[in-house]
Structure 1
Amino acid sequence: MKDDFCKKAIILIDEKGLKRKDIAEELGISAAYLSDILLGKRMAKRYRHKIAKILGFEYEDLRLIG
């Protein structure tokens, strides 16, 4: 179940030409776990703020929309 965070993160990763492996490495998690987060299979509240910061948007902004 993808939410607004997942959709925006995937779009920004593609637009910026970033590799999920590199983002996962920076976060200290596996690429598989990052993929699960982006697919909406895991909430990973602890990492969503960090992912948003890496991609240059505020996680709180998306929570207020929903």
Structure 2
Amino acid sequence: MSEDLGVQVRSELFKRKMKQKDLADLVGISNAYLSDIIRGRKDGPKAQEHIKHIQKILDI
């Protein structure tokens, strides 16, 4: 995930008063895996699918 997208995700979570764990539960992945995606440590095809899902959930 690009750095800007990571910032957008964190910003949306803050605005919605959501925790990262809440988002991970909605996406159906672990909190640790979500953190890796947000930080750009995971960027394979499966992570890209999760990124699209995250964007849809947060409307970004």
**TM-score when scaled to structure 2?**
0.79
* Aligned twin of 2:25: 25
Q: In structure 2, which of residues 44, 51, 54 is the aligned counterpart of residue 51 of structure 1? A: 54
RMSD over aligned Cα atoms: 1.6
Pairs aligned (count) = 57
Whole-angstrom distance in 2 between the partners of 1:49 and 1:20: 16
Aligned partner letter, 2:5: F
TM-superposed CA distance for 1:3, in Å, is: 2.1
> Could you list the runs of 5+ residues in structure 2 that have no partner in the other structure?
none
Higher relative contact order (CA 8 A, sep 6+): 2
Whole-angstrom distance in 1 between the partners of 2:15 and 2:58: 10
* Aligned twin of 1:15: 15
> Could you list the runs of 5+ residues in structure 1 that have no partner in the other structure?
58-66
- The structure having more radius of gyration, on CA atoms, is 1
**TM-score when scaled to structure 1?**
0.73
- Residue identity (%): 37
Displaced runs of 4 or more, over 2 A: none
